């Protein structure tokens, strides 16, 4: 996925979860939308380098969106919505080999009995068996590993349970973690942050939910999925 023109700045502060005050290189100060509901631990701090995009849409209250940050030497895509876009690209381009061989791909499809939407639905025209793919963006660095989640997530717990329900109905269900930072580290579940999520995760994989972890490469021009990552 190609980024729109990125504008560099320095973070003043992030607040109210979805807002960030930023000083641009020309000295002007702006407020950007932060498309990330997580704690963003290890991927943002005051005065860190950030890159934003400008959107000249009259319907938007905030004209800027936070896209990238830099912590040490690592670039991090903090826009969690990007994970779905690059996952779809990676399936269509054959990069995610485990999700090949389907005739159809549709994002954001209603499913289950909890009024939910699956990130990606895959199926073949000659089969009633479908493949349900839930995507999570990974940005948490815990020193020797990357991990998910970075905060307690009842929504994430529900998604795991819904995938298990699809397996029980005879379908294929896949939990796909997309790493959106450039660290070359193994991945694990952050059990110390959300014990319940970890418990449900361990239960559902025993019941047939598959787990895939893929790394993205990031620069100031584009972000794309490029390799499978070891799951610790």
Encode pLDDT of 16-73 as tens digits.
999 999 999 999 999 999 999 999 999 999 999 999 999 988 888 999 999 999 999 9
Q: Report long-range pairs for 214-217 (Cβ below 8 Å, ≥24 apart).
A: 214/87, 214/90, 214/95, 214/96, 214/176, 214/177, 214/178, 214/179, 215/179, 215/184, 216/77, 216/86, 216/178, 216/179, 216/180, 217/182
- Token pair for 16: 């109210």
Residue 104 has pLDDT above 90, yes or no: yes
Band of residue 130 on the pLDDT scale cut at 50, 70, 90: very high
Over residues 200-218, the mean pLDDT reads 98
DSSP structure class, residue 231 = B
Residue 232 has pLDDT above 70, yes or no: no
Per-residue pLDDT, 57: 84
Band of residue 221 on the pLDDT scale cut at 50, 70, 90: very high
Per-residue pLDDT, 120: 98
Give, in order, the Cα–Cα distances in Å from 16 to each of 38, 48, 64, 143, 147.
11, 18, 16, 27, 24
What average pLDDT does the chain have? 96
Please report the beta strands in 163-222, taking only residues with DSSP state E, as ranges in sequence order: 172-179, 187-189, 210-218
Whole-structure pTM value: 0.96
Band of residue 230 on the pLDDT scale cut at 50, 70, 90: confident
Asked if 98 and 212 count as a contact pair (C-beta separation under 8 A), the reply is yes
Encode pLDDT of 166-187 as tens digits.
999 999 999 999 999 999 999 9
In the chain, pLDDT over 90 holds for what percent of residues? 93
Give, in order, the Cα–Cα distances in Å from 38 to each of 1, 4, 138, 150, 177.
22, 24, 10, 6, 15
What phi, psi does 4 have (nearest 5°)?
Answer: -65, 170
């Amino acid at each position: 996925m190609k980024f729109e023109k990125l504008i560099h700045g320095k973070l003043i502060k992030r607040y109210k979860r979805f807002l960030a005050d930023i000083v641009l290189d020309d000295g002007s100060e702006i407020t950007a939308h932060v498309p990330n509901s997580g704690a963003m631990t290890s991927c943002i701090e005051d005065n860190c380098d950030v890159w934003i995009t400008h959107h000249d849409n009259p319907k938007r209250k905030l004209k800027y969106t936070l896209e990238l940050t830099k912590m040490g030497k690592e670039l991090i895509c903090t826009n969690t919505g990007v994970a779905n876009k690059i996952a779809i690209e990676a399936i269509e381009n054959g990069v995610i080999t485990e999700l090949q061989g389907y005739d159809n791909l549709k994002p954001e499809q209603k499913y289950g009995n909890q009024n939910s939407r699956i990130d990606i639905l895959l199926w073949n025209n000659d089969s009633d068996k479908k493949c349900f793919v839930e995507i999570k963006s990974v940005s948490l660095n815990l020193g020797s590993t990357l991990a998910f989640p970075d905060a307690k997530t009842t929504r994430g717990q529900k998604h795991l349970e819904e995938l298990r329900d699809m397996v029980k109905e005879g379908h294929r269900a896949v939990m796909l973690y997309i790493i959106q930072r450039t660290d070359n580290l193994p991945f694990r579940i952050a059990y110390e942050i959300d014990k319940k999520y970890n418990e449900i995760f361990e239960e559902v994989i025993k019941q047939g939910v598959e787990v895939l972890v893929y790394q993205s490469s990031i620069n100031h021009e584009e972000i794309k999925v490029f390799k499978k990552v070891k799951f610790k």
